[in-house]
Amino acid sequence: MAGTPVRVLIVENHQLVSESLGMLLDAQPDLHVVGYAASVREAATLPPGVSPDVVIVDFHLDDGFGDEAAAAIKKVHPRARFIFLTRDDGDGALLAAVESGASAFVHKSRAASELIATVYKVAQGGSFITPQAISGVLRRTRDREVKRDKLSPRELEVLQLMSEGMASRQIAKQLGISYTTVRTHIRSIDSKLGAHSKIESVATAHELELVN
């Protein structure tokens, strides 16, 4: 792409963020923002002339998710390369990025200079999603599924309420079961998650995305 500006499309549902990104990227000598979309629907109806080299897409959009927007854009612009922009730290967004064929995954807390460098590298065919990262997220996904399968539906309910800060007696009242039954569920949850306390079980549940 030497001598030709990298054409960038921004898919972001917050106008302030979108416009700020646009000004940041347009200020670079070899980058040119060719369009904006704020939703999956808008991404799916972009005019063919937009023709982006790189698409920066937010994972959370008003009417869906970034992987849906990426799929819609790919139908019209199959050569476009994708950078997922997200505030999520969980594996769900990274897994969606991997499955959609994205080249990079950038957290919104990162520096602007890092995003700019990522755009240049991705435009040149590079990727920031390493085999090690993919292996790690797949391993954690398997671990999550195994541990979720070990827990009964009632134990998952109790675990969710534990994560919301409810005490055992509050959980009993909420679910209409006895305090003793709640304590039995908690002991079972601790055992199945390999935890030694309620706090550790809740921490593990968050790490494995077993609770909201």
Q: Please say which residue of 99, 129, 159 terminates a domain.
A: 129
* Predicted pLDDT of residue 167: 96
* Predicted pLDDT of residue 164: 96
The answer to whether 168 touches 179, Cβ cutoff 8 Å, is yes
Separation in Å, CA 191 to CA 147, 169, 197: 11, 21, 9
User: Is position 125 within any domain?
Assistant: yes
Per-residue pLDDT tens over the stretch 116-131? 999 999 999 998 887 7
* Residue 32 and residue 117 in one domain: yes
The answer to whether 82 touches 55, Cβ cutoff 8 Å, is yes
User: Is position 1 within any domain?
Assistant: no
Per-residue pLDDT tens over the stretch 45-79? 988 788 999 999 998 898 999 999 999 999 989 99
Q: Which CATH number does the domain housing residue 144 bear?
A: 1.10.10.10
* Residue 15 and residue 119 in one domain: yes
Q: Which CATH number does the domain housing residue 60 bear?
A: 3.40.50.2300
* Predicted pLDDT of residue 83: 95
* Residue 168 and residue 63 in one domain: no
Q: Which two tokens stand for residue 172?
A: 């009993």
* Residue 98 and residue 140 in one domain: no
Please work out, in degrees rounded to the nearest 5, the angle formed at the alpha carbon of residue 34 by the alpha carbons of 31 and 38.
120
Q: Which domain holds residue 57?
A: 6-129
Q: Which of 18-32, 77-91, 97-111, 134-148 has the least mean pLDDT? A: 134-148
Q: Please list, residue by residue across 73-103, b when 16 or more beta carbons sit within 10 angstroms of its beta carbon and e when fewer do.
A: beebbeebbbbbbbeeeebbbbbbbbebebb
* Residue 111 and residue 169 in one domain: no
* Residue 117 and residue 22 in one domain: yes
Give me the DSSP letters along 89-124: -SHHHHHHHHHTT-SEEEETTS-HHHHHHHHHHHHT
* Predicted pLDDT of residue 1: 46
- Amino acid occupying residue 29: P
Q: Please say which residue of 102, 129, 156 terminates a domain.
A: 129
* Residue 24 and residue 93 in one domain: yes
Q: What's the chain's average pLDDT?
A: 90
* Residue 99 and residue 26 in one domain: yes
**168-175 helix and 179-193 helix, angle to the nearest 10 degrees:** 110
Per-residue pLDDT tens over the stretch 147-186? 888 999 999 999 999 999 999 999 999 999 999 999 999 9
* Predicted pLDDT of residue 189: 96
Per-residue pLDDT tens over the stretch 4-46? 899 999 999 999 999 999 999 999 989 999 999 999 999 999 8
Q: Which two tokens stand for residue 131?
A: 């085999």
